[in-house]
């Protein structure tokens, strides 16, 4: 296994050194290559310069007119395969969290923890009416919040689902 150390840039005020694993990859045309990902940026091995270069788009360095001419003709199958290999699939994955996760996440809000403390305290002091009202109000509020959050997640999931 090859490990690459990326050293801090002059703009990096934290002066952190990152160690990344280099992943061997095989392109469609049979040429081998290596890459690693650092801070969500993919770096690929360039044989010409014999160092890792930031992965660039197909249109990098193109004039606008060239880009629109290339758009009309499209990429060849070899270029498409290479792009798929280098960049990965062009999709956004949205996972909807389970309802129980949302309930626990919402219930651990400091406000609801204080409400639980208040319900326990008032129950110990036999203020049952106040304790029950606070408990019911909190349960309704958590339920409404989880319902709304789940609805937003489902809505965003359905909006990003596009078939070609």
Report DSSP letters for 128-143, one per residue. Answer: HHHHHHHHHHHHHHHH
List of the chain residues with pLDDT < 50 = 1, 28-30, 164
On whether the CB atoms of residues 102 and 149 are closer than 8 A, the answer is yes
HSE on the CB side for 22, CA within 13 Å?
16
CB neighbour list of residue 75: distance below 8 Å, 6 or more residues apart: 58, 83
* Domain extent listing, the chain: 3-87, 99-160
pTM: 0.49
Q: How would you label 118-150 residue by residue, b for 16+ Cβ within 10 Å and e otherwise?
A: bbeebeeeeeeeebeebbeebeeebeebbeebe
pLDDT at 108: 92
pLDDT at 157: 78
């Amino acid at each position: 296994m090859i490990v690459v150390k990326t050293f801090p840039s002059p703009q990096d005020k934290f002066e952190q050194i990152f160690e990344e694993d280099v992943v061997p990859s095989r392109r469609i045309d049979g040429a081998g290559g290596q890459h690693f990902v650092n801070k969500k940026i993919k770096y690929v091995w360039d044989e010409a310069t014999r160092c890792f270069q930031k992965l660039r788009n197909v249109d990098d360095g193109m004039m606008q007119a060239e880009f629109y001419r290339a758009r009309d003709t499209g990429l060849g199958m070899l270029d498409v395969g290479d792009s798929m290999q280098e960049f990965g699939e062009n999709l956004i994955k949205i996972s909807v969290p389970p309802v129980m996760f949302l309930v626990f996440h919402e219930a651990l809000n400091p406000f609801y923890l204080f409400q639980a403390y208040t319900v326990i305290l008032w129950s110990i002091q036999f203020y049952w009416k106040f304790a029950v009202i606070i408990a019911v109000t909190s349960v309704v509020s958590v339920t409404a919040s989880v319902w709304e959050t789940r609805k937003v997640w489902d809505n965003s999931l359905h909006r990003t689902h596009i078939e070609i």
